Amino acid sequence: MRFELVRNLKGDEILGKTLFDGYGKVLLPSGTKLNTPYINRIKQSGFYYIYIEDKELDDIKEDKKIDQLKQSTIERLPNVFTNIMQGNKDTVEESFKIVEDLAGYIATEGDVNTNLYEISKYDNYTYIHCVDTAIMSIFLGRSLDLKIEDLTELGISAMLHDIGKIKISNEIINKKEPLTKQEFEEIKKHPVYGYRMLKEAGVDNKNILSAVVEHHERVNGKGYPLGISGDKVSDYAKIISVCDVFTALSANRSYRERYNPNEAYEYIISNGDIMFDTKIVEKFKENFFIYPLGCCVKLSNGIEGYVVKQNKYFPDRPVIRVNYDHITKEKINSYEIDLLTTFNTIIESLVY
């Protein structure tokens, strides 16, 4: 599969990865031959990048299982939020089981490379963001050697971290202009709103409650709503805060365009020991990568090629497959450059 900008689609491409709408429904299944109406539908749905089939990159595969789990979770999440708002403890606890399959799969088989750069529109943003944050948090928790029961608990915490936003006016949530001081103060209350909603629904798990109320806390003490710092911030909240910020920056919002993947990644790395816990940022760096599989990059020597493999611990030095001449754009016999062993060459930019 090739990672392609939607604006570059010309038609006749074959969709390499199923696209879902904001409610977990299939927008277009993988294998669909794209045409102008389909491309317009993709654009109108707010997608920025998609995967398309490419015979020269057919070793980059779709993780269909996690896509199915994500789809199911998104479909059921509105009901989870409704159950919490209604305060039915039995129903709430039953709702949490949707995370168990997700955590179990990621703990044993999930491939992190295929899941960090899902681009979604900001309509229904809270549900999409909560599920993406949960998936990423479970991956990060796995790298920190958390047990399966802890990964499930972490996933539930991440899935519910923004539930308090239900209490905030959509006019504020979706406002395109800068928030007033009063509006921002209201936004800052959503962790407390979420904490109270869960308590009222009978959730008494201290790890989940602390993660929800603390996910905007920062290790330097400049977060909210409590202003706590360092080890006073719970471990789950530290993990979720990194994933929350990354997924938020990687999606279009009402008030700004999404960050490029490398920009969002660098933001996390540069804020280690400032906003985020250093150990967790190091694990983020070890296990997540700047450039998605299948994306096209330009190297410092002018050569262009596609990312086909990641090198763990070296997020900016993947393996590149070159299959065309960067000057003439004509096809050539493909070859690979491993940037881990090619010391005098670096990635200069993404090719759009």
Q: What does the H/E/C string look like for 70-122?
A: HHHHHHHHHHHHHHHHHCCHHHHHHHCCHHHHHHHHHHHCCCHHHCCCCCCCC
pLDDT in the model for residue 217 = 98
Tell me what pLDDT residue 112 has: 62
Same domain, 53 and 126: no
Query: Do 144 and 258 fall into the same domain?
Result: yes
User: Residue 262 has which token pair?
Assistant: 């490398």
User: How far apart, in whole angstroms, are the C-alpha atoms of residue 103 and residue 66?
Assistant: 10
Looking at residue 118, its pLDDT comes to: 46
Vertex 341 angle, CA 335 and 346, to 5°: 80
Longest dimension (CA), the chain: 65
Residues 15 and 141 in one domain: no
Could you give the number of structural domains in the chain?
Answer: 3
Q: Are residues 156 and 242 in the same domain?
A: yes
83 and 103 in one domain?
yes
Domain that holds residue 311: 296-350
Residues 180 and 106 in one domain: yes
Which residue among 57, 75, 102 closes a domain? 57
| Ordered per-residue pLDDT tens for the chain, 352 residues | 998 989 999 999 999 988 887 777 889 999 999 999 999 999 888 788 899 999 999 998 877 788 788 888 888 888 888 889 888 777 888 778 888 888 888 888 766 654 445 434 334 556 778 888 999 999 999 999 999 999 999 999 999 999 999 999 989 988 888 899 999 999 999 999 999 999 999 999 999 999 999 999 999 999 999 999 999 999 999 999 999 999 888 776 655 676 776 788 889 999 999 999 999 999 998 888 888 899 999 999 999 999 999 998 888 899 999 999 999 999 999 999 999 999 999 999 888 7
Q: Are residues 97 and 164 in the same domain?
A: yes
CB 261 within 8 A of CB 267: no
In angstroms, the CA 287 to CA 314 distance is 9
Of 25, 47, 286, 258, residue with least CA distance to 34: 47
- Is 190 in the same domain as 48? no
- What angle in degrees, to the nearest 10, is found between the helix axes of 278-287 and 261-270? 150
| Dihedral, CA of residue 248, residue 249, residue 252 and residue 258, to nearest 10 | -170
Residues 229 and 310 in one domain: no
Same domain, 48 and 86: no
Q: What is the CATH number of the domain that holds 8?
A: 3.90.105.10
Whether 112 and 189 share a structural domain: yes
In angstroms, the CA 333 to CA 339 distance is 19
Which tokens is 30 given? 């993988």
